[in-house]
Amino acid sequence: MSYTGSAPASSSLYWKGMESSGDPPILAGAQSAWDMLSDEQSQKHITTGSGDLNNILGGGIHCKEVTEIGGVPGVGKTQLGIQLAINVQIPVEYGGLGGKAVYIDTEGSFMVERVYQIAEGCISDILEHFPHSHEKSSSGQKQLQPEHFLADIFYFRICSYTEQTAAINYLEKFLGEHKDVRIVIIDSVTFHFRQDFDDMALRTRVLSGLSLKLMKIAKTYNLAVVLLNQVTTKFTEGSFQLTLALGDSWSHSCTNRLILYWNGNDRYAYLDKSPSLPVASAPYAVTGKGVRDAVSSNHKRVRVT
CA distance 7 to 175: 33
Under 8 Å between Cβ of 256 and 56:
no
Contacts of 243 (CB under 8 A, 6+ apart): 231, 232, 233, 234
Per-residue pLDDT reduced to its tens digit, 192-204: 887 767 787 887 8
> What is the average pLDDT across 282-291?
97
251/223: higher pLDDT: 223
Specify the pLDDT at position 27. Answer: 61
> What is the average pLDDT across 32-36?
79
> Radius of gyration (Cα) for the chain, nearest Å?
21
CA distance 107 to 85: 17
Domain boundaries, the chain: 46-292
Specify the pLDDT at position 171. Answer: 96
CA distance 285 to 52: 11
CA distance 249 to 226: 18
191/301: higher pLDDT: 191
Under 8 Å between Cβ of 84 and 61:
yes
Return the number of other C-beta atoms located less than 10 Å from residue 210's C-beta.
Answer: 20
pTM of the model: 0.82
CA distance 2 to 140: 58
CA atoms within 13 A on the CB side of 143: 25
Q: How many percent of the chain have pLDDT more than 70?
A: 78
DSSP character at residue 77: H
Q: Which CATH number is 46-292 given?
A: 3.40.50.300
